[in-house]
Amino acid sequence: MKRVSITARNNWQAAVEQLGFGFHTDDVPYWKEDAYYQLNSAEIAALEKATKELWRMCLIAVQHVIDHKLYPLFSIPEQAIKYIEHSWEADEPSIYGRFDLGYNGSEIKLFEFNADTPTSLFEVGIVQWFWLQDYDKSADQFNLIHEQLIAYWKHLQPYLHDGPLHFACIKGSLEDLTTVEYLRDCAIQAGLDTRLIFMDDIGWDDASGTFVDMEDQTIRNIFKLYPWEWMVEEPFFEKLLLKTDIHWVEPAWKMILSNKAILPILWELFPESPYLLEAYTEAENTLTNYVRKPILSREGANIQIIRNGYVEAQTKGEYGAEGFICQAHFDVPKYTGKTAVIGSWVIGQEAAGIGIRESSGVITENTSNFIPHLIKN
């Protein structure tokens, strides 16, 4: 794997905006194409293998948490437990997830699993693919995102309830809306009847005892880009407990995998795995060089890198009230001064592609850049 500097397309802003990518630049650039990461086919095969194995281990870990009632480690409220267990026993489907991986040229290690509301899907599946068509059509890319999304929506269609599939996110986030509309477009291409609704606009009809959209149509299937840990704190969660016949995508059992407390569980279950880093609850931590992470956090917030008792780097934020885990530090090589993290996607139970984000610091956060990749031997 190497980082190759190039000249960005002259019209790249217009080119990505034509695709519907409207948040390529904010106060700082997010999408950058003055470089790309080059991997060879052996590295891609290794990433694909790691992703498949991590997904397998994660499913075993969910069963372990449920069997041993380990919910307190996750700060999961009591009222959510039965809902989680029902969704797991009913085998409610998951459409996607993103493993964030460190790679040092020989070892692949799991940093965390964005299992409930991962973003950057549109950038991976569409934007970097069209960049490759302009830059080098002869090269390849590990990118089956679009095809596998359509195929899995088709696979899920017979298992959904009658009625449309609603797609929901919060108002005011262009990134979230773009992700949701991309997923919705794939569902439409798969032949599903869909509706867009904002989480803020979901209503409750007392007469029928159902959630409804803005046209008072009953919601029976819904993809929501909205974290379960937020949902359990909402006033409507009591109503949701009455409606176990709604298909929520992602399902409630993803509340376990989206929580970084799963990392010590994985290490306990699979200490011999080449893809895992030592990880412990903060109370049980014996590591000297480690990364301290809130069990619930986003965009790299409230993370500390600690070496020999000293804080080497840290980020600010508003997370941490629920507790922390400690994970062994893994050195990722710098590429022309940049630290790269590989986001490896699971779509419909299968490894589907990668996206790479880089930062000048050692912690990937919301100011990090998305950089395209290609495959050459």
What's the whole-number average pLDDT of the chain?
93
Give the chain's largest Cα–Cα span.
63
Residue 334: partners with Cβ closer than 8 Å, 6 or more residues away: none
For residue 365, what pLDDT is reported? 65
The 10s digit of each residue's pLDDT in 173-192 is 999 999 999 999 999 999 99
Which position has the token pair 């984000």? 357
Residues 311, 269: Cα–Cα separation, whole Å: 29
DSSP string, 202-242: -EEETTTTEEE-TT-PBP-EEEE-S-HHHHTTSTTHHHHHH
Percent of the chain with pLDDT over 70: 99
For residue 361, what pLDDT is reported? 73
For residue 319, what pLDDT is reported? 83
The 10s digit of each residue's pLDDT in 308-344 is 888 888 888 788 788 899 999 999 988 888 899 999 9
Give how far Cα 25 sits from Cα of 8, 17, 119, 248, Å: 14, 11, 16, 32
The answer to whether 338 and 368 have CB atoms below 8 angstroms apart is no
User: What amino acid occupies position 184?
Assistant: R
The residue ranges of every structural domain in the chain are 2-259+333-375, 278-328
Q: Indicate if the pLDDT at residue 278 is higher than 70.
A: yes
- Displacement of CA 372 from its chain's centroid (Å): 18
For residue 212, what pLDDT is reported? 94
For residue 239, what pLDDT is reported? 86
The 10s digit of each residue's pLDDT in 66-116 is 999 999 999 999 989 999 999 999 999 899 999 999 999 999 999 999 999
